[in-house]
Structure 1
Amino acid sequence: MTDPRKIIDGLLVLQYRAGSNKALGVLVRKYHPKLCKHSYWYTHDLNAAKDIVQDSWSIIINKMDSLSNPNLFGSWAFRIVTRKSLDYVNRKNRELRSLQIYHNGQVLEEVEGNNDEAVRKLLNAMRSLPNDQQIVLRLFYTEDYSLKEISEILEIAIGTVKSRLFHAREKLKTILRNNKRSPLEGNHEGNN
């Protein structure tokens, strides 16, 4: 059974295609904050995230007529923002590597202002995962996308999504378990 929210999105897309700018306004109000938050998760830069989403809206509006299933507007819009955000991150990483070489390898580390120890440990553990696993975790747990929707957003097979999610969970468990034991590790025999 199709999610009623997706049906509403589909109706709004169809209304926009028929000439209703109000329908577009509803979609923008509904998705703009979510898309900004989604982009920020990748970029860690609020201004960049806003710019990315603004650029994405231009693409979304220009290509809305080509959306074959209007009910999938949300995952389609997230896929566009994901791609643009990853492009931004890749570009920034290339720039950072250039700066690192220029500055003899010194790197400024971003410090998050979250004081909750458990959340901070989880975020740190997540950062140690491969980027593709981080993305799947975020889409599944914080954005509440289904496996099928994640597969569509990232343009990968559902089996790949399941595999990445499974491996990410297992690695997180191991990392968090090891972090709990880390103060005592020096006392254990046989450590390598």
Structure 2
Amino acid sequence: MKKDKHIDAMLVEAYQAGDQKAIASLVKRWHFEFCKKAYFMVKDAAASKDIAQESWQTIMDKLHTLEKPSSFKSWALRIVYNKSLDVLRQQSKDRKQETKIETIQVAVDDDYKEDTALKKALLKAIQQLPMHQQIIVRLFYTEDYSLKEISDLLNISVGTAKSRLFHAREKLKLILKDNNYEN
């Protein structure tokens, strides 16, 4: 491990000194790992390749600011992680927009079922939750992420993810009860 850090440190220092070939060596060493990390988070091969590419662009732009070259791995993986979160946020925003469009389409349809009304009430109730609970509910129920995957994705413990999900469910029950949507 120290040997790897030493190699990374030498390549970073060479790049910072103006050796453009050093970045090619870093890419060879880390690109596949970046793609894997991004894929783990977004579960989309094409998006993970794009994330890795964008991460390299950021790395090349900011590498001169890295004060401790031996910390390249953690620094670069944090960039990949942040880019992955940006993609997940955008996907969530896109799905929210699609949900709004679907809700509008349902409202136009006069003979929708009680089931649809309950779904609308549930979506509205979810929007009333604190953001950290909304994210957990959406990742767990909509995206089918496990609690372990959610904890890794959000950089929280599994226990915290469980707790947030539990409290979100309890709050949803209260909101739905207050709006007369009981079973």
Match status 1:94 vs 2:93: yes
Amino acid of the structure 2 residue aligned with 1:129: L
Residue 127 of structure 1: SS of its match in structure 2? coil
Question: Which consecutive unaligned segments of at least 5 residues does structure 1 have?
Answer: 107-125, 137-153, 155-160, 172-192
Matches within 5 A, 1:48-59: 48-59=47-58
Larger Cα Rg: Structure 1 or Structure 2? Answer: 2
Matches within 5 A, 1:1-192: 3-104=2-103, 127-129=145-147, 133-135=151-153, 164=157, 167=159
Return the alpha-carbon distance in structure 2 between the equivalents of residues 131 and 101 of structure 1. Answer: 27
Return the alpha-carbon distance in structure 1 between the equivalents of residues 13 and 81 of structure 2. Answer: 24
Residue-pair matches, total: 125
Normalised by the length of structure 1, the TM-score is 0.57
Question: Which consecutive unaligned segments of at least 5 residues does structure 2 have?
Answer: 104-118, 121-143, 163-183
Return the alpha-carbon distance in structure 2 between the equivalents of residues 98 and 131 of structure 1. Answer: 25
Return the alpha-carbon distance in structure 2 between the equivalents of residues 22 and 91 of structure 1. Answer: 34
**1:129 shift after superposition:** 1.4
**1:3 shift after superposition:** 1.9
Q: Could you tell me whether the CA contact under 8 Å between 1:56 and 1:80 is conserved in 2?
A: yes
Structure with more helix by fraction: 2
Amino acid of the structure 1 residue aligned with 2:100: I
**1:132 shift after superposition:** 5.3
Return the alpha-carbon distance in structure 1 between the equivalents of residues 145 and 42 of structure 2. Answer: 13
**1:50 shift after superposition:** 1.3
Q: Over the residues paired in the alignment, what is the CA RMSD in angstroms?
A: 2.9
**1:135 shift after superposition:** 3.0
**1:16 shift after superposition:** 1.2
Residue range with higher mean Cα deviation, 11-20 or 97-106: 97-106
Return the alpha-carbon distance in structure 2 between the equivalents of residues 89 and 131 of structure 1. Answer: 13
Return the alpha-carbon distance in structure 2 between the equivalents of residues 87 and 42 of structure 1. Answer: 11
**1:55 shift after superposition:** 1.3
Normalised by the length of structure 2, the TM-score is 0.59
Return the alpha-carbon distance in structure 1 between the equivalents of residues 71 and 46 of structure 2. Answer: 27
- Identical columns (%): 34
4+ long deviations beyond 2 Å = 100-106
